[in-house]
Amino acid sequence: MFLGIDSSTQSLTALILHADGQPGPRVNINFGRDLPHYACPQGFIADMPAGQVHSPPLMWLEALELALTQLGQQGLDLSRIRAIGGDGQQHGSVYLNSRFLPVLAGLDAKRSLVEQLAPCLSRSTSPIWMDNSTATECAEIAKALGGDAEVCRRSGSITTPRFTGPQIRAFSKRDPGAWGATTHVHLVSSFLASILAGREAPIDFGDGAGMNLMNLESGQWDAQLVAATAPSLAAKLPRLASAAQSFARIAPYFVAKFGFDPLCRILPFTGDNPASLVGMAAGRPGSVVVSLGTSDTLFAAMPQPRTDPAGCGHVFGNPLGGFMTLACVRNGSLAREAFRDQLGATWEDFEKAAFVALPADAITEPFLFDEITPRRAAGLVESRPDLSSPQRIRAFLEGQARNLRAQLDWMCLKPELLLLTGGASKNDGISAVFSQVFGCPVQRFELSDSAALGAAKLAQQSS
């Protein structure tokens, strides 16, 4: 068996893949529901200063431990797992001090991960992808490199507020003391892989490309970007590697505590979107995936990197080799939820909304929160607020689908089939609206866990 672990914005999923390719048992730890003591009902701290969105990294560790406990409680013999792959929400960063590596190397199975790792954090919270508080730092890095076009040429994206580099720079400026005490910077993905391996994990090319720090052409840290980001950063970054090849055996902690085979291999973890690309079997060029999760994303494999002239879209590494293109919309599921609640509606109303007629002049700009694609401030604009609630829902969903479809232009993609995944993809109405707006059939993924499945598939394919 193989295990895929997806540490996403709102939950952590662990999914078994049998050697014959069939998905097996799964557990899902929802941060808000299952770990309420972290006070993160949607996976992040609710009351941060404007623009800042952080999560407690210890919450992810507790979720990991709970997921493995629950898999064991389902009667699963974890010693049969040959390899573990994984992924994390992209861009989020974890800051660790000099105790990190010694603690990892000597994890005590009688104590929890949370208890042992807490003293290793040089920053108690992690900025995540929803944080857009780093406009100043983006401008500073771009200026040092000679402009956004140059940053994009090197890293596949212009300096982007949620990306790890600008976030690191903001931390080094806001709290130079804590930055000085930081000896290791990890992504959510590489942090969790490090824990499972009991040693520092590399950052994979897929997730590494979401940092404004990796040079796409060389697959190495870009010395000029690193130097422009924060003092002494080069020494704090792990190496880069492919998520397709294991880098370690599982740490003795997990052997003693959960009965894993000491030979179980650990892969570098990748980003949730690159993992989802693999899970949706869209890792080879030809298909377009739309993932309707906390964020809505549109992505596809591509052999050669193509960048977005408007500066919103991105190029990441494809875990199967080559590159992938991605556009990320912040007003995804949380905006659908907020609009649903504004109307006093239910998901069942969204199921039906796709089938109501809509006047041609009903156009909705569905941005309840500050948006990243396109870059604009929050503002819901309905051209016809007088319409019925089902019509307003439909206009809202059409607005979301049109906004994503517009990204196909710079990507030069014309999908014949849309592969749909993510929590909202199970909604028939939402799926139907996306099919209508994209003008092509939709194939839904029966599991909404495409990222966890992709991670497990990478484990299966690895050596």
> For binding to ligand ADP (CB under 6 A), which residues are involved?
8-11, 293-294, 333, 336-337, 347, 350, 422-424, 426-427, 430, 448
Question: Judged by CB, which is closer to ligand ADP: 258, or 438?
Answer: 438
Torsion of CA 49, 52, 53, 56, to 10 degrees: -70
User: Residue with the closest Cβ to ligand ADP?
Assistant: 423
Q: Which whole-number Å values give the CA distances from 326 to 115, 128, 164, 447, in the listed order?
A: 37, 17, 16, 21
If binding is defined by CB under 6 A, does position 167 make contact with ligand XUL? no
Residue whose C-alpha is closest to residue 305's, from 209, 398, 435, 204: 209
Residue 248 is inside which H or E element, if any? strand 248-249
- Residues whose CB is less than 8 angstroms from the CB of residue 446 and which lie 6 or more positions away in sequence, other chains included: none
Residue nearest to ligand XUL (CB): 90
CB atoms within 10 A of CB 309: 10
Instruction: Give the one entry of ligand XUL, ligand ADP, none that residue 91 binds, where binding means its C-beta sits below a cut-off of 5 to 8 angstroms depending on kind.
Output: ligand XUL
Contact 163, 135 (CB under 8 A): no
Which of residues 159, 270, 273, 364 is near ligand XUL by CB under 6 A?
273
Nearer to ligand ADP, 238 or 423 (CB): 423
Task: Sketch the per residue contact string, 392 through 431, with ligand XUL: x for CB under 6 A, - otherwise.
Answer: ----------------------------------------
Question: How distant, in Å, are the alpha carbons of 94, 120, 126, 331 from that of 55?
Answer: 10, 16, 5, 19
| Least CB distance to ligand ADP at residue 86 (A) | 13
**Is-contact 196 266, C-beta < 8 A?**
yes
The two three-digit tokens of residue 40, written as one number: 């993160």
8-state DSSP, 80? G
Return d(Cα 423, Cα 410) in angstroms, integer: 27
Q: Does 54 bind ligand XUL (CB under 6 A)?
A: no
- Identity of the residue, 225 or 328, whose beta carbon is nearer to ligand ADP in the bound complex: 328
Q: Which of 7, 9, 133, 400 binds ligand XUL (CB under 6 A)?
A: 9
Stretch that binds ligand XUL, among 43-51, 87-95, 349-357, 436-444 (CB under 6 A): 87-95
- With CB under 6 A as the contact rule, the residue among 31, 44, 60, 129 that binds ligand XUL is 129
* Residues within window 281-310 making contact with ligand XUL, judged by CB under 6 A: 293-295, 297
Residues that bind ligand XUL (CB under 6 A): 9, 89-91, 129, 162, 210, 271-273, 293-295, 297, 326, 328
